[in-house]
């Protein structure tokens, strides 16, 4: 298994010195080592090629005139090797004519220095070439980070748009299937009930996938609460243990004193689930998974997902496995949506991209330490902060708020999708509400203006042709400020939700709307009206 992540200062690669004159090599080494550089040296081209493959230096000081393989040929061969494009070559030569100097540049030398060597000039050129190479690498890394960020943002926007459109269709599929299940139950038709149940299960899986797309695009943020993480991890592992074969051993290493964090409890569980299932698949049926949790301070690392540096105090949740590890070429793409190394049908490629979205939404980061064949360690770093948490409700409190509170009250239902008004209208009528539906916002406003007291509550979609749901609600509430309005949309982020509340809209739901939650909210609003 790979060792746990540790922050360490990486040393610069050594400088490669190649010269067939042993006295000259000793002088090069002494001068460069005195200047603080690490040096490896070779008497000829063959040995130099072996040292380069082993150490991957950024700078090589190469003598031009050597037996068997001269500096010109060596330069060309070094540049043709894997990683050779990163190498800067400083040619040392006693040749002085223009043809030889041009030959050195054509062979790939970045600069040359004449023999006999001026050692002060040598130190200056070496330092200048190294600084230029390091600056070039930093610039390329920044450009790569920017391209990655732009790509993730673009895919996030695409995912958000797909999720929004798909939710409208999914809402009616799930809604009508739910109504069909109730109808078949009343008829006592067992076999059709099983068929309908399978349709609903598939729709639920589609809904979960859409939810993952929304979480990746950060269009559907969670509601943050102050969490005691240790009990949550223990409870989650109890539930998740059944998804692991008995041939996989699960170990917990949770520190006793752990600080609380600000997180959404459902999303926290989803993070742990994704990492645990990834570890299960990496082990391929037999091995060990270890869950570690500890508080870390003064850590300074680079995020494996967003590639930004981060430091400070964090709660570290680490999932380690004894599987086959993650090759570097796979790790580069691991957090991209829809990227998967699993066979078709065994993975959506959304797991780690969802982890990316949730963690960065909460201000956290991710670190991955893995080598092919040596297992993997994935660490989630949750920021420790002192924000005031929203009060959490217990399951008992939630159950007390549920129940059929419907009375013969009148509801105006507005959505441009006929299938959605059809399903929701029937759902509400089955619960003893009197429902008027409209698929046109202008028509809905006209119905309301004809008799502002005719409706006790309004349910409207946000995205409508003509008047938007917010504009429709605002126009209605100008005449009846106390009118309860429920707004539904493909996705509603936290900022939008807050703006809706401030505008007077009492409740808002993401599609597909949970029927029980909607009925509960409608009952509470009408009871309070």
Give pLDDT tens digits for 17-71: 999 999 999 999 999 999 889 999 999 999 999 999 999 998 999 998 899 899 8
At residue 220, the pLDDT reads 46
**Residue 440 pLDDT grade (very low, low, confident, very high; cuts 50, 70, 90):** very high
Give pLDDT tens digits for 330-384: 777 777 755 555 543 344 444 577 788 788 878 889 998 887 778 889 999 998 8
E-strand spans in 136-286? 225-227, 248-254, 261-263
At residue 157, the pLDDT reads 57
Give pLDDT tens digits for 152-162: 556 555 555 66
The sign of the CA dihedral 214, 219, 220, 226 is positive
Q: Averaged over 455-483, what is the pLDDT?
A: 93
**Residue 163 pLDDT grade (very low, low, confident, very high; cuts 50, 70, 90):** low
Concatenating the DSSP letter of every residue in 336-387 gives STT---SPTTS--S-HHHHHHHHHHHTT-EEEEEE-TTS-EEEEEEEEP--P
Give pLDDT tens digits for 69-110: 998 999 999 989 988 888 999 988 877 667 777 888 888 888
Give pLDDT tens digits for 441-452: 999 999 999 999
At residue 363, the pLDDT reads 83
In this structure, the dihedral spanned by the alpha carbons of residues 461, 465, 468 and 469, taken in order and rounded to 10 degrees, is -20
At residue 517, the pLDDT reads 87
Task: Return the number of other C-beta atoms located less than 10 Å from residue 445's C-beta.
Answer: 19
Distance, in Å, from the CA atom of 279 to the CA atom of 282, rounded to the nearest integer, reads 5
- What's the mean per-residue pLDDT of the chain? 80
Q: What's the Cα-to-Cα distance from 441 to each of 68, 167, 224, 415, 455, rounded to whole Å?
A: 86, 20, 34, 8, 15
Q: Which of 224-233, 316-325, 343-352 has the highest mean pLDDT?
A: 316-325
Q: Tell which residue, 334, 387, 358, has the closest CA to residue 272.
A: 358
261, pLDDT greater than 90 = no
At residue 402, the pLDDT reads 37
Which of 61-70, 215-224, 240-249, 479-488 has the lowest average pLDDT? Answer: 215-224
**What tokens were used for 203?**
């729709």
Sheet holding 376-383, edge to edge: 248-254, 287-302, 309-321, 376-383, 365-370
- Dihedrals φ, ψ of 113, to 5°? -135, 135
For 82-87, the CB contacts below 8 A with 24+ separation are 82/53, 83/52, 83/56, 84/52, 86/56, 86/58, 86/133, 86/137, 87/52, 87/57, 87/58, 87/59, 87/60
- Dihedrals φ, ψ of 286, to 5°? -150, 130
């Amino acid at each position: 298994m790979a060792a746990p992540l540790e922050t360490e200062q990486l040393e610069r690669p050594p400088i490669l010195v190649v010269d067939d004159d042993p006295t000259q090599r000793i002088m090069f080494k002494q001068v460069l080592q005195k200047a603080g550089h690490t040096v490896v040296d070779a008497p000829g081209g063959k040995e130099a090629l072996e040292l380069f493959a082993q150490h991957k230096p950024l700078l090589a000081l190469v003598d031009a005139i050597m037996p068997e393989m001269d500096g010109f040929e060596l330069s060309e061969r070094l540049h043709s090797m894997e990683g050779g494009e990163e190498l800067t070559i400083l040619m040392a030569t006693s040749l002085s004519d223009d043809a030889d100097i041009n030959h050195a540049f054509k062979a790939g030398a970045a600069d040359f220095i004449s023999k006999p060597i001026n050692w002060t000039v040598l130190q200056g050129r070496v330092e200048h070439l190294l600084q230029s190479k390091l600056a070039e690498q930093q610039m390329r890394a920044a450009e790569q980070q920017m391209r990655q960020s732009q790509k993730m943002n673009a895919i996030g926007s695409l995912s958000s748009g797909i999720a929004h459109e798909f939710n409208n269709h999914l809402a009616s599929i799930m809604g009508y299937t739910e109504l069909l299940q109730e109808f078949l139950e009343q008829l006592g038709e067992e076999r059709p009930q099983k068929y309908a149940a399978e349709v609903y299960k598939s729709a639920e899986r589609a809904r979960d996938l859409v939810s993952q797309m929304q979480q990746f695009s950060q269009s559907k943020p969670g509601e943050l609460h102050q969490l005691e993480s240790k009990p949550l991890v223990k409870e989650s592992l109890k539930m998740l243990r059944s998804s692991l074969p008995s041939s996989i051993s699960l170990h917990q290493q949770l520190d006793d004193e752990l600080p609380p964090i600000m997180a959404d409890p459902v999303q926290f569980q989803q993070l742990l689930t994704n990492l645990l299932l990834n570890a299960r698949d990496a082990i391929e049926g037999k091995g060990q998974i270890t869950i570690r949790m500890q508080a870390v301070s003064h850590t300074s690392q680079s995020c494996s997902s967003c590639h930004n540096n981060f430091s400070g105090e964090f709660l570290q949740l680490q999932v380690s496995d004894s599987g086959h590890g993650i090759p570097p070429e796979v790790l580069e793409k691991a957090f991209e949506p829809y990227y998967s190394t699993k066979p078709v049908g065994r993975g959506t490629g959304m797991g780690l991209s969802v982890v990316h979205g949730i963690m960065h939404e909460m201000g956290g980061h991710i670190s991955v330490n893995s080598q092919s064949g040596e297992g993997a360690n994935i660490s989630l770093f949750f920021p420790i902060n002192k924000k005031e948490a929203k009060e959490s409700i217990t399951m008992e409190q939630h159950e007390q708020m549920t129940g059929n509170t419907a009375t013969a009250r009148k509801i105006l239902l507005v959505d441009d999708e006929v299938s959605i008004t059809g399903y929701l209208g029937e759902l509400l009528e089955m619960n003893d509400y009197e429902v008027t539906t409209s698929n046109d916002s202008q028509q809905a406003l006209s119905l309301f203006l004809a008799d502002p007291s005719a409706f006790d509550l309004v349910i409207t979609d946000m995205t409508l042709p003509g008047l938007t749901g917010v504009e429709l609600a605002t126009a209605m509430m100008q005449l009846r400020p106390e009118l309860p309005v429920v707004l539904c949309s493909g996705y509603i982020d936290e900022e939008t939700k807050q703006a809706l509340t401030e505008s007077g809209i009492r409740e808002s739901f993401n599609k597909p709307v949970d029927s029980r939650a909607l009925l509960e909210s409608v009952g509470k609003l009408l009871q309070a009206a």
